[in-house]
Amino acid sequence: MSNTTKTRRDFYARLDPGSLVPLWERMKGLVPPEPKNKTQAYVWRFDEVRPLLLEAGDLLTAKEAERRVLVFENPALQGTSRINSTLYAGMQLILPGETAPAHRHVAGALRFILESDGGYTAVAGERADMKRGDLVITPGGAWHDHGHDGEGPCIWIDVLDVPLVNVFECGFSEELGEDQQAITKSDGHSLAEFGSGMLPMTPYSPFAETSPIFSYPYERARDSLLSLKKSNEPDPYLGYALRYANPLDGGWVMPMISAWLSHLPKGMATQPYRATDNQGLVVSEGSVKVDLDGQTFELHRNDVMALPGWKWRTLKASEDAILFHFSDRSAQEKLGIWKEQRGNSGAAIW
């Protein structure tokens, strides 16, 4: 060790007891020249996760568990309950006759339904059926419980902004003390009031920054997405894509989580693209090959993938594919820090 190094080390050691550190030893880590995302690209295969989730169904009831979920924990983020750097995601099961009791918390949730015949969720006094492909929103602070009066397992993907809420250390939660909240609105109320291209005469926003629509039915979303093909060319970087929107401001459905659907016709390959948002992907229909910084992943129906931000990616559809995407883009945009690059020809990012 040179004399200078030793003198500096000695100096740093004297700073330590006073809770001081020299910025010049830390600066590059604080403001890296480009994003260094900790998230590992990773795929959870439905064929592997589903049997384990059903086994959990034999082990304990939904009520015992409060929420019977296998958490998608990114292998690079062990112990943090995160699928990527900023979002929580997991796969939930309820069985016929079960209820997941009513509670509420500051974190907001979205659910993408994989398998359901008679499952439903109740949000703020309104019941919404859960059908395959539906997007169901639980705004932060809203009472919610799940139930099932149909047949077979009801399985869905939950995505919550829990890690972001916890960065701010501003989380509250509360149990209602009842299995199910009182239903005060008719089924389909939020969709009728806010989701048919019309809005209430007197403006109001029942859930602050979150969309007032609880359920975006797959049938409608899918029809719209596939109808684009009749008149439009696909976006070369995204394929055919439509995002779930908050009808009150045209923004994303939730303040901290973005969600969109894309369709890649069989054989379509997207051009290199990267963006700073931390993403997740669920294959709703078909199969797709994802190339991420030279690593290839083959995904099939109901498989879930964690995609770190700012890595070059291309997607190729092995067969007609419909994909559900979620990310923290909404939060990044609100904070003014989201960036994307379309094509790796060295376009400026500033």
What is the binding site for ligand 1HN (CB under 6 A)?
Answer: 67, 69, 88, 90, 92, 100, 105, 109, 144, 158, 160, 162
Nearer to ligand 1HN, 83 or 264 (CB): 83
Nearer to ligand 1HN, 173 or 227 (CB): 173
- DSSP assignment letter at 252: B
Cβ of residue 124: shortest distance to ligand 1HN, in angstroms? 13
Cα dist from 180 to 63, 112, 117, 199, 211, whole Å: 11, 21, 19, 29, 23
Cβ of residue 138: shortest distance to ligand 1HN, in angstroms? 6
Structure tokens at 116: 């359901």
Cβ of residue 181: shortest distance to ligand 1HN, in angstroms? 12
Nearer to ligand 1HN, 154 or 160 (CB): 160
Cβ of residue 255: shortest distance to ligand 1HN, in angstroms? 17
Cβ of residue 63: shortest distance to ligand 1HN, in angstroms? 13
Nearer to ligand 1HN, 67 or 300 (CB): 67
Cα 197 to Cα 176: distance, rounded to the nearest angstrom: 34
- DSSP assignment letter at 279: E
Q: Please give the span between the terminal C-alpha atoms of the chain, in angstroms, as a whole number.
A: 40
Nearer to ligand 1HN, 165 or 275 (CB): 165
Pair 247, 285: CB distance under 8 Å: no
Which residue reads 């509670």 in tokens? 103
Structure tokens at 94: 């309820």
Nearer to ligand 1HN, 73 or 209 (CB): 73
Cβ of residue 144: shortest distance to ligand 1HN, in angstroms? 5
Structure tokens at 24: 């010049």
Cβ of residue 163: shortest distance to ligand 1HN, in angstroms? 10
Q: How far does Cα 132 stand from its chain's mean position? A: 17
Nearer to ligand 1HN, 135 or 275 (CB): 135
Residue 171's identity, in one-letter code, is: G
Q: Which residues contact 79 (CB under 8 A, 6 or more apart)?
A: 73
Q: Helices (H), strands (E): how many in the chain?
A: 8, 20
